[in-house]
Amino acid sequence: MAIKFECEIKTNRRPGFRELIASNKNNYIMQAHVTAITLAVKNLAVTRAFYTVKFGWQILAENEKVIMLKLDNLVLTLCDELVFEEYTNMSNNAHSKSFYITINLSSKTDVGAKIAELDQAGVQIQKLPAETFWGGYAGFIADPEGNCWEICYNPFT
């Protein structure tokens, strides 16, 4: 199932963010700037209403399978559970986590290099880096507790 996600993303990127990321040459050191948290949801409409009506959060972008909500310094993404499973190689059930945290790097090359470094360090690779359905480039790793991290290049930020 291929999903195409097109939307205009408005951002207030901090000056020098990409340059700061590119200057981090330490091996096995991951930048500590979380840019997004994504939740797998069973009922996108009900969950959308919860965050937009009950919390009053604004929608940054959406389509029929994904909704992106703008928070102060990150994006909360609500993702249809089937799209989530295909994208992450993780199922949304009682025995797995149904969220992931995103760290954006400055290029596709940096994503590939970081995943390779983490693999060499013994980190569990959930999904090797690849082109994404929304136009980015991402791979997934898991910490020792199975919490999933997306290591990503987002050309729109």
pTM for this predicted structure: 0.66
Q: Taking Cα atoms as reference points, which of 42, 47, 61, 145 lies closest to residue 95?
A: 145
What's the pLDDT at 147? Answer: 75
Fold topology of 32-153: 2,3-Dihydroxybiphenyl 1,2-Dioxygenase; domain 1 (3.10.180)
Give 10-residue mean pLDDT values along the chain (157 residues): 48 46 53 85 90 89 94 91 88 72 94 93 92 94 81 91
Distance of CA 14 to the CA centre of its chain: 19
What's the pLDDT at 129? Answer: 97
What is the token pair recorded at 152?
Answer: 């990503």
What's the pLDDT at 131? Answer: 97
What's the pLDDT at 50? Answer: 84
Burial 1-32 (b: 16+ CB within 10 A, else e): eebebeeeeeeeeeeeebeebeeeeeeeebbe
